[in-house]
Amino acid sequence: AQSVTQLGSHVSVSEGALVLLRCNYSSSVPPYLFWYVQYPNQGLQLLLKYTTGATLVKGINGFEAEFKKSETSFHLTKPSAHMSDAAEYFCAVRTNSGYSTLTFGKGTMLRVSP
Amino acid sequence: GAGVSQTPSNKVTEKGKYVELRCDPISGHTALYWYRQSLGQGPEFLIYFQGTGAADDSGLPNDRFFAVRPEGSVSTLKIQRTERGDSAVYLCASSLTGGVPDTQYFGPGTRLTVL
């Protein structure tokens, strides 16, 4: 089975501060990991994904994430938050174990204050 | 190019009624997925199509839910005898081949409210 845990349903930062959104996964086989962002009344948009190779993955809008196998983590970071980053962020995992599904975490709502 | 589109954007129905939700995937994408997102939760998998066939329907909650993709493009999710617990946002996604590393592109969703 595969699962995702996102620590913190809500995270608040000030504009210009570091953004850190935590994601831990559980998988018995090598995972493929994804971060999606969801703005109000919009569909999910892919920020970045890890498949194979380099463990530090850069995505859109200045976000990046690092796959750490020893910690079963895939935390999302951005050095300097912008007001437009306020949205809900979902971490997801998929594997070659026969599951066709992306398994999502419950999401983290990011609030950015001026 | 056009992204994934879903109609209607909102659907309000009464308990016991039948509803159909439509998804138009990105042109050329062979894989199509349906997810359900309840309030405060991440999307949960319902069904996956590869071409015209349902490759995995293990996420459908019961036999009131059914989906089709007759020509390998547009898909319709059908819910019979709706219940209040079916209220959620239904998301559709498509990907180029269905391969595990493929990016799934999501539509804006249909918000279903069952009164």
**Residue in chain B lying closest to A41 (CA):** B108
Mutation for A interface: B41, B45, B100, most A CBs within 10 A = B100
- Convert the pLDDT of each residue in A60-102 to its tens digit: 999 999 999 999 999 999 999 999 999 999 999 987 766 667 8
- Cα(first)–Cα(last) distance of chain A, in Å? 41
Instruction: Give the nearest partner residue to B42 out of A51, A96, A105, using CB atoms.
Output: A105
B70 to chain A, minimum CA–CA distance in Å?
20
Instruction: Give the nearest partner residue to B107 out of A32, A43, A90, using CB atoms.
Output: A43
Q: Which two tokens stand for residue A78?
A: 């951005």
Distances (CA, A) of B85 to A3, A36, B6, B35, B80: 24, 26, 21, 15, 13
Q: Which two tokens stand for residue A10?
A: 């809500």
A104 to chain B, minimum CA–CA distance in Å?
6
Q: Which of B9, B8, B4, B11 is nearest to B31 (CA)?
A: B4
B4 touching A, CB under 8 A?
A: yes
**For B97-113, what is the HEC assignment?**
CCCCCCCCEECCCEEEE
Question: pLDDT in tens for each of the 115 residues of chain B?
Answer: 589 999 999 999 999 999 999 999 999 999 999 999 998 899 999 999 999 999 889 999 999 999 999 999 999 999 999 999 999 999 999 999 888 888 999 999 999 999 9
